[in-house]
Chain A
């Protein structure tokens, strides 16, 4: 029994982290990755080739960890814009970073994505939405962790 428990514990601790990465071409489908229960939804547009995007991952994880199921993230990776990039490379990055929220491996037109989110092509881009898809706030460039946590708290408080 003890041997079994030790084996189980080792298996759990050594279990490989498996990030959720979904190829997607149509920007309009991205919002469908959010769970219905989430009252505030965060879209983060990023790429592994974008240094500020990589630098802010730890802060995004901290924001995610500060809330429960009322907040949900979806990442949108633009790595496919670099010819020769494979989704496996992005998944390996997400695994290493232990990013627990779903990510979209965007394979569609950058112009269409820019039109969909109404941004000028500069990433990272982070947008907060309510459950009805209404935009509440956005920031272009790296987030400020404490500001974003305070903002989400305020939105949740106001929309009980």
Chain B
């Protein structure tokens, strides 16, 4: 699936987007965050505090317990500050 990163999540990882292939045991957004945390120092820094990470699946907001299922695109970002 395609992963996209925004704001300081993007800066800490050093990538705006990438293709990811998590193992089958990664079923939910919370699982995916835990998996990301162990992919290297930059990912560990970006995902250190899961409570500050928001996620979207196929461009809709989702919660940590939401199954990833067959989503094509996942995005991770900080709480929003528009307006």
A and B are interacting partners: no
